[in-house]
Structure 1
Amino acid sequence: MTTTEDWIRTAREVAAKLAVDAVERDRANETPYQEVQLLKDSGLVTLLGPVEHGGGGQTWETAYRVIREVARGDGSIGQLLGYHYLWAWAARLVATDEQIAVVEELYTRDKLFFGGAVNPRDSDLTITEDGDELVYRGHKSFSTGSKVSDLTVLEGVLEGTGDHVFAIVPSKQEGIVFHDDWDNIGQRLTESGSVTINDVRVPWSSAAGYVDKKFRPLTYNTLNVPTIQLVFTNFYLGIAQGALDTALAYTRDNTRAWPYGGDNKESAGEEWYILDGYGDLQAKLWAAEALTDKVGAEISQVLHAPREELTPEARGEVAVRIAAAKQRVIDTGLEIGTRIFELTGARASATKYGLDLFWRNLRTHSLHDPVAYKRREVGAYALLGQLPEPTWYT
């Protein structure tokens, strides 16, 4: 695969395979080993990896579209892939050039899959210093990717300081205990349960971005949140597109015209309220997609530019537009997830069709952080000219 179109085509092929039994797999709620293997076998996990190590050498603009396409077939797997891309890029966000080279060669060459135990709402993992090593201890209530990951990103605070330290460690080790307690109404196959970290040791040399035990900050370091917020936006958009695709197919094959309206039609395709409804939802989805693509191109340019060139102002400008895209996609997606039942008809509510899956998936993850704060960020920018300040959620 050498072009964006090649990667999108592959993502669509993967999505088509996932969509076949997405409803059944959601109900079974089993660890998605085969689904992640499909991502590896397709080559999608190395899309951002260096070409010299067998990666695709693609941009984030392409990665966002691939996430969206995969989520169109299965929202959970789209989320897993999106998080993988973010954590695979984590070294570039905060590490030194030497550390970046080591991490990118490792994960690209061996097609390793990333998970992450970085949940800002929990107390940070405690890090103690033991000679030339750092020792991580603590508990996180969410660790997306858990058992299907090969590598886990840890983050904690060095004891006696306020210094945050990121490190990438093997997922399969005695010191990492995944608790298999993720059983929510949506995004059920994301392996997002809690994790306990017991004496996981990392050499000081692997502490991301630290040189001689000192961190050298850049504005670029703060792109982790806008980057993943747009990951969210794209798999939300993919879920919404999947919902509309599925509803349209159902209506073509099964929905009957209403025979008691006084203007009776022969088929659902002639029924005015169905055409009006789908026209409204499709238009809103196209608008949300256009905004998401535009801001995806913007942040991709920033992410692939020299790290030292990023200014706080440029970072804030792209972050506020991501906030706008996210709120618009959430609102549109939830509306689609609800209104498709009005357009498909009563029989479509049978559990065998699984039309509720899309709403459950989007509703569950869109609670990650309050969308009202994203509206506030956009409002403060529009009215007051204020750019979002970097936080763990902004």
Structure 2
Amino acid sequence: MSLDALQVAARLSTDFEAEASVRDADRVLPYDQVKALKASGLLALPVPVEYGGVAAPASVIAEVFRLVAHADPSLAQIFQSHFTFLEALRLQGTPEQKAWFYPLVLDGALLANAQTERGPHAVNIDSTLLIEQGSGGYVLSGRKFYATGALFADWLVVRASLGDGAEEPTPQTPKALAFIARDSAGVEVVDDWDGMGQRTTASGTVTLSDVVVPASQVVPFTPIFSGPTTYGARAQLWHSAIDVGIATGALAAGVAVAGKARPHFEAEVSAAVDDPTLVNIAGELTVTVRGAQALLAEAARAVDAAEASLSPESTAAASVAVAVAKVAAVRASLEAANVLFELGGTRSASASGNLSRYWRDARTHTLHDPTRWKLQHIGRYTLSGTPPPHHGQI
């Protein structure tokens, strides 16, 4: 099944790439492409075997993300949170919840993210509240921004603070995930994402007005981090794979445009690809991009190894390996998206070619979880063995 998944992802990548530039330029939302993803079976890769899935390893899923992002980073970003929240369901869902949601996913249901809020509070505070009612259910109210993929979703997964509304939530306030149908009463999704990159992720605003949520659709979030887990490492691994996909896509685009570029007259060659200075640039970039690919694969193997033998030591090692891959992926995506213009020369700056989409996508996506903090955690682990923080961001 793993080989089949990669073959399916490679085929879809080729299909998605055909019109990716047009979708970006005109901001055409990828409804047909999301439909193809749902029908492909790829969204069900993490489903455990006992529930009819294949429990694909992180090494396979990471490569699926890279293949899709190579063609269209917006599409890869749309289902990043789908895989992350399926992991939350695996770790904290009850048997009854798993028996209900996994068949939906096997049939192609897409989960979308509704977790990020705007300030002034920090990202680890959720002002959105999930208030328990006497009937055993909950009422959900709040507003979420950058809700990637919400317009395409069958289910929204909302991270919220548990409480009664009497006190302002703090970082210590327990949190839960509310799984709510996209068409639930009180849910409004607004397509107001105006990012310069990843323009077709539909990362709009979700407003929740007294949404009734049965207890059977609420999964604890805070307990995920009460012991060793690869939850955060997995979430960051998928982000890293998207950045590596941007890098490999930009390198391929740079090679393609270099073949059409005029050589510099001082090179005294008939083709730009024979210019020794351009050859050197291509060689340097290939090392950077392939290095990021290798570190991504290494990090995925570390996550799989940690999952096979969970301990504070194995999960810390996996988190650090993913952090290393994330730093390399960010650097590679930005470098490749920039250097492709050197490979292509003036022709590559044509608006009709829309090659700026690689840089815009890279610069936008790499703002997730700043690598300057990854370097802090990597450095402390290297020098003193200090494990990274135990939360969902590493």
TM-score > 0.5, shorter chain as reference = yes
CA distance in 2, matches of 1:227, 1:100: 20
Matched, 1:130 2:128: no
Q: Aligned-residue CA RMSD in angstroms?
A: 2.1
Counterpart of 1:111?
Answer: 108
Gaps of 5+ in 2: 118-122
CA distance in 2, matches of 1:152, 1:173: 10
- Which runs of structure 2 are paired with 1:228-307 in the superposition (5 Å)? 228-252=235-259, 254-259=260-265, 261=266, 263-303=267-307, 305=308
Among 53, 69, 72, the alignment partner of 1:71 is 69
Deviates more, 1:383-392 or 1:352-361: 383-392
CA contact 1:76–1:188 (8 Å) conserved in 2: yes
Matched, 1:219 2:252: no
- Which runs of structure 2 are paired with 1:332-347 in the superposition (5 Å)? 332-347=332-347
Counterpart of 1:311?
Answer: 311
> Partner letter of residue 111 of structure 1?
G
CA contact 1:187–1:360 (8 Å) conserved in 2: yes
Deviation per residue, 1:261-305 (Å, 9 max, x gap): 1x40111221101111111101111111111101101112334x4
Specify whether residues 238 and 216 from structure 1 end up closer, same or farther in structure 2 by C-alpha distance, changes over 3 A only: closer
1:224 shift after superposition: 2.8
CA contact 2:175–2:220 (8 Å) conserved in 1: no
Deviation per residue, 1:9-53 (Å, 9 max, x gap): 211111111111111101222332111001122222222235576
Matched, 1:386 2:386: yes
> Partner letter of residue 127 of structure 1?
L
Matched, 1:16 2:53: no
Local SS of the residue matching 2:56: coil
Specify whether residues 216 and 240 from structure 1 end up closer, same or farther in structure 2 by C-alpha distance, changes over 3 A only: closer
Local SS of the residue matching 1:375: helix
CA contact 1:31–1:147 (8 Å) conserved in 2: no
Matched, 1:370 2:374: no
CA distance in 2, matches of 1:278, 1:216: 44
CA distance in 1, matches of 2:251, 2:116: 32
1:209 shift after superposition: 4.5
CA distance in 2, matches of 1:65, 1:347: 32
CA contact 2:114–2:146 (8 Å) conserved in 1: yes
Among 80, 83, 89, the alignment partner of 1:82 is 80
Specify whether residues 215 and 59 from structure 1 end up closer, same or farther in structure 2 by C-alpha distance, changes over 3 A only: closer
Deviates more, 1:323-332 or 1:85-94: 85-94
> Partner letter of residue 271 of structure 1?
D
Q: Name the count of aligned residue pairs.
A: 380
Specify whether residues 217 and 298 from structure 1 end up closer, same or farther in structure 2 by C-alpha distance, changes over 3 A only: closer
CA distance in 2, matches of 1:266, 1:215: 64
CA distance in 1, matches of 2:191, 2:95: 36
Gaps of 5+ in 1: none
Specify whether residues 227 and 124 from structure 1 end up closer, same or farther in structure 2 by C-alpha distance, changes over 3 A only: farther
Counterpart of 1:145?
Answer: 149
CA contact 2:177–2:219 (8 Å) conserved in 1: yes
1:256 shift after superposition: 1.7
> Partner letter of residue 176 of structure 1?
V
Specify whether residues 239 and 95 from structure 1 end up closer, same or farther in structure 2 by C-alpha distance, changes over 3 A only: same
> Partner letter of residue 126 of structure 2?
S
Deviates more, 1:79-88 or 1:201-210: 201-210
**Percent of residue pairs identical:** 30
CA contact 1:124–1:155 (8 Å) conserved in 2: no
